[in-house]
Amino acid sequence: MEEKSIRVRVPGTSANCGPGFDTLGIACTIYNELELTLREAPGVEFFITGEGAENIPQDERNIVWRSVRYLLERAKAADRFQGGIVRMKNEVPLSRGLGSSATAIVAGLKAANVLVGNMFNRRELLQFATRIEGHPDNVAPAIFGGFTVNIMNRGRAQSFSFLPKVRLKMVAAVPDFFLSTRVAREVLPDMVSRQDAIFNIGRSSILVAALCRGNEFFLRHAFEDALHQPYRSKLVPGMMDVFSAAKEAGALGATLSGAGPCLMAYVLERDHCAEKVGQAMVEAFRKNDVEAKYLVLNLDTRGARIINE
Ligand code: HSE
């Protein structure tokens, strides 16, 4: 009976980065690991530890396993490998806006791809992952690492990944409640004003330009948003207070991470204020009766990777 295993590590991500709704995303130094074994015999076993383990389905609904099956079908290997073992070690908080579903999708696709002989390149994995997730802004940084700019062009995702010339630290304030992306998308209006569109186009552009050129001055207003955060603030009690607290403690800016509820502050590394910013954010959440913890993260520069063959 044929049996093959592989281990992959995939970074968590923060999408939108403020103004880049559904288009910008970064990879962070927090990881989920998958050890995948494929077997000829049907049936799948799950061994999941770490963040959110008790809330992750351990059957055919599991998103890692569904992504594995998705890839095997495209590789015409679904009959050859009908079952397997999924071992996950998770650091990325579940359903908090740090890309936990993207890491699961990318981990499943990447691991299965290696086990079928790397039939697909990273650009093709991006298409598969985007189709499963629905938008590219989390899956792209999970695949490529770095800061990514992502567009959809005639149904295909295109992603540009780069390493910013400004050395940043990210401070994630992670509240102790879940928020589903579906709910956080339902509160958004279908139409936005021209004024709000201009607000975001300018900030999103200046954010990318300033990071590429290493210009810190222009970053101070570049993380602001008018297209999604104002509507989502009612889902995250104290969001605006936490943003203000982060800035007062020295952050360049703060954003809703993905669809939330995690909030992400951006700090210049040379300011050495990440811990202070984290404490201020947690305190501001506490004043709004929300328990939270903070994580100080760096940019992940490599994206999804194989740990051993
Ligand atoms: N861009 C997405 C959103 C990220 O904000 O809804 C969440 O997956």
Helix, strand, coil percent content, the chain, rounded in steps of 5 = 40, 30, 35
**Which pLDDT value is given to residue 287?**
98
Q: Is the CB of 22 under 6 A from ligand 1?
A: yes
Q: What ligand 1 atom has the least distance to the C-alpha of 185?
A: 6
Q: Is the CB of 181 under 6 A from ligand 1?
A: yes
Gap between the Cα atoms of 272 and 258, Å rounded: 25
pTM, whole model, 2 decimals?
0.95
Numbered ranges of CATH 3.30.230.10 in the chain: 3-163+300-308
Q: Which fold has domain 168-297?
A: Alpha-Beta Plaits (3.30.70)
Q: Is the CB of 258 under 6 A from ligand 1?
A: yes
Numbered ranges of CATH 3.30.70.890 in the chain: 168-297
Q: Which residues of the chain have pLDDT under 70?
A: 309
Gap between the Cα atoms of 126 and 106, Å rounded: 8
Q: Which fold has domain 3-163+300-308?
A: Ribosomal Protein S5; domain 2 (3.30.230)
CA of 183 to the centre of ligand 1 (A): 11
CA of 141 to the centre of ligand 1 (A): 13
Nearest to 196 by CA among 161, 154, 228, 152: 228
**Which pLDDT value is given to residue 308?**
74
Where would I find the beta strands (DSSP E) of the chain?
3-15, 24-39, 43-50, 83-90, 147-153, 156-162, 168-175, 253-256, 263-268, 292-297, 305-308
Strand partners, 50: 90
**Which pLDDT value is given to residue 2?**
77
Gap between the Cα atoms of 112 and 270, Å rounded: 41
Distances (CA, A) of 85 to 33, 58, 74: 13, 11, 20
Gap between the Cα atoms of 198 and 204, Å rounded: 10
**Which pLDDT value is given to residue 125?**
98
Is residue 291 within 8 Å of 264, Cβ to Cβ?
A: no
Question: How many CA atoms within 13 Å lie on the side-chain side of 253?
Answer: 18
Q: Is the CB of 259 under 6 A from ligand 1?
A: yes
